[in-house]
Amino acid sequence: MQEYFIIIISAVLINNIVLSQFLGICPFLGVSKKLSASLGMGGAVSFVLVLAGALTWTVQTYILNPFKIGYLQTIAFILIIAALVQFVEMAMRKYSPPLYKALGIYLPLITTNCAVLGVAIINIKKEYTFGKVMVHSLSHAAGFTLALVLMSGIRERLEDADIPESMRGTPIALVVAALMSMAFLGFSGLI
């Protein structure tokens, strides 16, 4: 039990996927201008991340490892993620139009989101069991959403601030991210 707890704390706060592992920076900077959009993106990424975590682990354990073709990992994983995103998009459009409306535009972007592939690879590197893979993926998804929502809250206020012209937009967003990541460094003493 304690092991799972440590995985959760370390993935959400200490090794936050955006602020200390630098995965998923593109959506973090691109979609964090509005709170509602960042919630949508967070939801879509979490959904795909957890599903992809489960699928890639299964493929690695039952197909790549027994046949000793581990070197095909990168190709296999990216195909799984691309297919999964496409499939989720189709299923959502058919069975849950409101959800599709809310998350739909973010879905195609997720294929090239390094957070999804990154977490899948970390899962395998750490040799987790299936239960731990699920907990680990879920916590990273929660960490991503947390960082995105916090960031969009700050950026909504930055709109009104008087910032030197050349720093407006992405540059100031990166400086804000630096301050947030400094705050998250404070969690590193937790475990």
For other proteins, which is the closer residue by CB, 2 or 157? 157
- Tell me the closest approach of the beta carbon of residue 15 to other proteins, in angstroms: 10
- Contacting residues toward other proteins, per CB under 8 A: 19-26, 29, 71-75, 78-79, 82, 111-114, 117-118, 121-122, 125, 164-167, 170-175, 177-179, 181-182, 185
- Tell me the closest approach of the beta carbon of residue 124 to other proteins, in angstroms: 10
- Tell me the closest approach of the beta carbon of residue 180 to other proteins, in angstroms: 8
Q: What share of the chain is helix, strand, coil (3-state, %, to 5)?
A: 80, 0, 20
* CA distances in angstroms from 52 to 77, 129, 138, listed in the order given: 9, 15, 11
For other proteins, which is the closer residue by CB, 25 or 149? 25
- Tell me the closest approach of the beta carbon of residue 163 to other proteins, in angstroms: 10
- Tell me if 109 sits within 8 A of 42, measured CB to CB: no
- CA dist 96 and 14 (Å) reads 35
For other proteins, which is the closer residue by CB, 78 or 99? 78
The structure tokens listed for 49 are: 């991340």
- Phi-psi map region of 112: left, alpha, beta (phi>0 left; psi -120 to 50 alpha): alpha
For other proteins, which is the closer residue by CB, 96 or 179? 179
For other proteins, which is the closer residue by CB, 14 or 142? 14
Residues 6+ apart with CB under 8 A from 107: 44, 48, 85, 88, 89, 92
- Tell me the closest approach of the beta carbon of residue 164 to other proteins, in angstroms: 8
